[in-house]
Structure 1
Amino acid sequence: MITQDVTAPTSAQLTGNATKTERKNLRALSWGHALEWYDWAIFGLLSSYLGAHFFPADNEFASTLNALAVFAVGFIARPIGGIVFGSIADRLGRRKIMIFAIAAVSFGSFVIGVMPGYETIGVAAPIIVVAMRLLQGLSAGVEAPLGTAYALELVPNRPGYVSGFFGFFNNLGNLLAPLSIFFLTQLLTGDNLAEWGWRIPFIIGGLFGLIVLWLRSTLPETLDVDGAREAKSEKKQLPSVWVDVRKYWLSVLATVFIVGAIQAYNYTWIAGLPNLARAAFQEDPAAVFAITTGFGIFMTLGALFLSKVLDRFAMSKVFVVARVLAIPTIFLSLLYSQPGIGTFAGVMFGGAIVLLLNMTIFVTVSNSLLPQHIRGTGLGLGYGFGVALFGGTASFLLLWLQGEGMFWMFPIYIAALCAISVVLYLVAKKRNGIFVGK
C-alpha cells in the first residue's frame, strides 16, 4: 500500500484562516468556475429555445431533444480536453492552461449568442453550435478538475474551505443562469423571449469572460516549471506523467464514477427536470425558472456555509455518507411523472441537501486520490470521461425515457452509479492512500 503523500497536510494542520492573498487567488480561479457553470446551465435551461432556433423539427419536444443531444456532445470533448491540456499543465504549469480554458468557454458562449438561426444560414447553424459546444467541452474538460487542483495547491491546508469556496462560485454560476432567464421572462413577452431574448444570457457570459481573463492573469504558478526545465536541460531522468497515471489507474477509474454519478444526478436537477417541466409537461416558464432560481439560492448559500465547517470532519467519511444518501434520494424524481408545478418544486428542493453536500466535495475527493504531479492528467482523464459518459447524457436520457414510458428506469440507473462510486473510492483509498485532507 502507498502511504499518504508527505506534502499532504496532517490533521493538526487543517486549521486556520486563509490569508488575504490566498482568498484573492481563489476568487480569480472561482469566478472562472462560476462562468463555466453559468454557460453550461443556460444551454441546458434554454434548450427548448435553442432547439427551435437552430434545429428544424416537427414539434417543440423533438427540437428540444436535438438541442439536448448537442448539450451531450459538448461533454464528449471533455475527456480530450482533460487529457491533452491536463498533461500539458502537469509539464508546463497551471496558469496558462487556466487562462486558455476561460477564453475558450466565453468565446463559445458569445458566438452562440450572436449567431443567426437555421432559417437564415441553414445547416451551418447547427454545425456552428456543435463546434462551439466542442470548443467549450475541450476547455471545460480541464477547467473544473485542474482549477480545483490548482486551488488546493494555492491553499493546501484547507481542503474543506477550498471545496466550499469553489462550491459557492459553482452554484453561483448555476444560480445566475436561471435568475437571468427569470428576469427576462418578467421583462419580455413570451414571443420576444423565444425570438431573440434567449440570446442575452449567452452574450453576457461571453463578455464576462474578459473580466475573468484579467483576474487570472494575476495568478502565481504552483508547479515548479523552472526546476523541470533545468532538469531537462541537464538531461536528468524525469518520471513520465503517464507512467504514474497508469500506476494510479484505480484512482482514475474511481474518479470516473465519483464524478459521473453525481454529475448525472446534478444535471437531472438543473437541466433534465426543468426541461421536462417546460417541454414535456408545458408548465409555466416563469414558474419553472422561479423554482430553479430558488433552488440555486439554496445551493449557493449552502456551499458558503459548508466552507466554514467541512474542515472539522474527515473528507473521506463525509463523502461516503453523502454518496450513500444520494442513492435513495434520486428516486424522488419518480414523483414528477405528470404535470404539476407543486410536485416539481417539491422534487427539486427535496433532493437539494444531498446534492449540495455531494457537489461541494466531489472534485476535492477526486483530487485526494492522486499525487500533485499527475493531478492535471489523471483528473482530466477521470473527470472528463465521468462527465461525458454519465453527466452530459443524463438530461437527454431522462426526457427520452419519459417519452418512451420508462421513466422508472432512470433513478435505478443513477442509484447504481452512486453505489459503484462508493465501492471504487474505498478500494482506491485502501490501495493508494490519499494525498489531500484525511
Structure 2
Amino acid sequence: MSATTTSTSPAQNPATTRTAMLGLGLGNTLEWYDWMLFGLVSPYIGPHFFPSHDPVASTLSALAVFAVGFAVRPLGGVLLGTVADLVGRRRIMVLSVAMMAATTLLIAILPAYEQIGVWSGVILLVCRLIQGVSTGIEAPLSTVYAVEVSPVGREARAAGFMSLFVNLGLVMASLVSFFTSLVLGAAAMQDWGWRVPFAIGAVMGVLVLYLRRALPETLHESDRPATSVWRGVGKHWLGLVAMIFVVGAAQAYNYAWAVGLPNLARATFGEDPTAVFAASTGLGLIMLVGSPLVGWLADKVTLSRAFTVSRLLAVPAVFLMLLYSRPGLGGLYGVIFGGALVLVLNMTLYNLVATSLMPKYCRATGVALGYGIAVALFGGTASYLLVWLQGNRLLWLFPVYVAVLSLISVVLYLAARKSSGTFAGK
C-alpha cells in the first residue's frame, strides 16, 4: 500500500485548543521536571540510599533505579493506553500527573538508609516504578492528544509546542538544581539540599492537576471501529517495530546528553557540580527555544523528509562525545552544546513520527507500547551504559551503538510508510 495521510480529527475551536494545549503542556512540564530531576541528582541520592565507599558505585546504583523506572514504562503504556483507547484520553492524563506528583513528594521526604535501613532503597524503587508507569503513558499520549486537538496541517507545530513544555520541565530541573547548589553549597547539597527540588515539584503538581481537569475529550464514539484495539495494533505491526527504533535512537541520544554526560562529568571526572548543572541548563535552553522552530519548519516540508534528514544528521553528531575523554569543562561544554543542535531536531519530531504510524482508534495503545519498549531497551539504559563504558575505557562503542540505532530507524520508518501509510502529519 502506498503511503497516505489521513486527518486525525476535525478542527477544534481555537480558544478550546489553546486552553487544552496549556493544561496539556504544563502537565508535561511537571512530568519531565520530576523525571529528569532524579537523573540529575543521582550522585547525591546514591550515598543516602545505597551507601558505598566508592562514589561511582553509589552513582551507578542510583542510575540503576533510574533505569528500572524505564523498565515498567511498557506495562504502564499498555495498561493505561488501552484504557485511553476505550474510555477516552482525559481521565488517563489526569491520573498520570497525580501519580507523578504524589511520588515526587514522597521522595522529597523519604528517610535515608541511616534512618530506616534497606527500606529506604525499597521505597525509593517503588516510587520510581510508579513514576515509570506514569511517564509510560504521559509521554506518548500527550503527543497523541496534541495532534488530535490541533487543526489538520499543523500537527508538527503541535508536536513542537509539546516539546517546548517538555524542555521547559528539563530546564526547570536543571535551573532549580543549579540555584539550589549555588545557594546552599556543595556540602549542604550532598547532605539534604537535593531534596529541595523534589519538594518544589510536588507543589507544582497541585496547580497542574487543577488545569488537567479542564481538558476536553478527543476520542468519540465515531472514532471506535468494529475491530478491537489490539487487532488494530497487530495489523500495523511494522509501524510498531519502526516506532520502537524511531523512539529508541532518539532517547539513547537524549539521555546520553542530558543525564549520562553530566553524571560522567561529576562522578568520574570530578567536575564542579554547579558548572555541570549550568551546562545542563544551557542544553535545556537550546531545546526549549529550538522545539517550536523545528515544529514550524516541519509543517513547511514533508514529515518524512524532516525526520529522515534529522535522523541521518544524528549519526555523525553522536560521535562528538568522544571529544570529552578526560576532565575539563571546556570539553564538556563543547560536546553538550555541539550535539544539542542535532538533538533538538530529533527530540521534537520523534513522537509525531511515532503517532503518525498508528490509526486513531488504536493509537494510544500502539504508541504507548512502542514508546515504552523503546525507552526501556534504549533510553533508560543509555546513561548507565555510557558511564560504564567510560569506566572500562570503551566509550567509543556508545556512539557506534546510537548511530546503528539511528540508521535502522530510518529504514524501518520508510518501510512502514510504504506498507501501511501514515495517519497524522504530512
TM class by shorter-chain length?
A: over 0.9
Q: Would you say 1:408 and 2:404 are equivalent positions?
A: no
1: distance between equivalents of 2:255 and 2:3? 36
Matching of residues 106-255 of structure 1 within 5 Å: 106-157=101-152, 158-225=154-221, 238-255=226-243
2: distance between equivalents of 1:140 and 1:54? 23
2: distance between equivalents of 1:341 and 1:3? 47
Matching of residues 10-21 of structure 1 within 5 Å: 19-21=14-16
Which residue, out of 299, 323, 342, partners 1:354?
Answer: 342
State the shift of 1:225 in Å.
4.7
Matched to 1:417, the amino acid is L
- Cα offsets for 1:386-421 (capped at 9, x unmatched): 000000000000011111111111111111111111
1: distance between equivalents of 2:229 and 2:190? 48
Partner of 1:328: 316
Partner of 2:4: 4
Q: Would you say 1:314 and 2:310 are equivalent positions?
A: no
1: distance between equivalents of 2:12 and 2:77? 31
CA distance 1:374–1:156, shift in 2 (3 Å): farther
Partner of 2:69: 74
Matching of residues 361-380 of structure 1 within 5 Å: 361-380=349-368
2: distance between equivalents of 1:17 and 1:86? 23
- Count of aligned pairs: 425
Matching of residues 286-297 of structure 1 within 5 Å: 286-297=274-285
Any idea what SS the aligned residue of 1:436 has?
coil
2: distance between equivalents of 1:428 and 1:305? 27
Partner of 1:90: 85
1: distance between equivalents of 2:13 and 2:179? 36
Any idea what SS the aligned residue of 2:217 has?
coil
2: distance between equivalents of 1:195 and 1:276? 21
State the shift of 1:301 in Å.
1.1
- Please, what is the CA RMSD of the aligned residues? 1.7
8 Å CA contact 1:5–1:371 kept in 2: the answer is no
Which residue, out of 22, 43, 47, partners 2:42?
Answer: 47
2: distance between equivalents of 1:420 and 1:146? 24
Matched to 1:131, the amino acid is V
- Cα offsets for 1:287-317 (capped at 9, x unmatched): 1111111111111011133344331111111
Matched to 1:182, the amino acid is F
8 Å CA contact 2:2–2:417 kept in 1: the answer is no
Any idea what SS the aligned residue of 1:405 has?
coil
Partner of 2:423: 435
Q: Would you say 1:262 and 2:250 are equivalent positions?
A: yes
Matched to 1:180, the amino acid is V
Partner of 1:24: 19
- Cα offsets for 1:257-315 (capped at 9, x unmatched): 11111101000001000000011000011111111111111110111333443311111
TM-score (normalised: structure 2): 0.97
2: distance between equivalents of 1:105 and 1:416? 33
State the shift of 1:8 in Å.
4.7
State the shift of 1:227 in Å.
8.3
8 Å CA contact 1:105–1:136 kept in 2: the answer is yes
Partner of 1:234: none
The runs of 5 or more residues in structure 2 that have no matched partner are none
Partner of 1:231: none
Matched to 2:382, the amino acid is A
Q: Would you say 1:305 and 2:293 are equivalent positions?
A: yes
Matched to 1:407, the amino acid is L
8 Å CA contact 2:160–2:293 kept in 1: the answer is yes
Matched to 1:166, the amino acid is M
State the shift of 1:28 in Å.
0.6
State the shift of 1:5 in Å.
5.2
Matched to 1:197, the amino acid is G
2: distance between equivalents of 1:54 and 1:18? 50
- Cα offsets for 1:194-213 (capped at 9, x unmatched): 11110011111122111111
2: distance between equivalents of 1:203 and 1:226? 43
8 Å CA contact 1:18–1:155 kept in 2: the answer is no
State the shift of 1:17 in Å.
11
Matched to 1:305, the amino acid is L
Q: Would you say 1:387 and 2:383 are equivalent positions?
A: no
2: distance between equivalents of 1:169 and 1:153? 17
CA distance 1:17–1:283, shift in 2 (3 Å): farther
State the shift of 1:68 in Å.
0.3
- Cα offsets for 1:309-344 (capped at 9, x unmatched): 331111111000000000110000111111010000
Matched to 1:84, the amino acid is L
Matched to 2:398, the amino acid is F
8 Å CA contact 1:95–1:219 kept in 2: the answer is yes
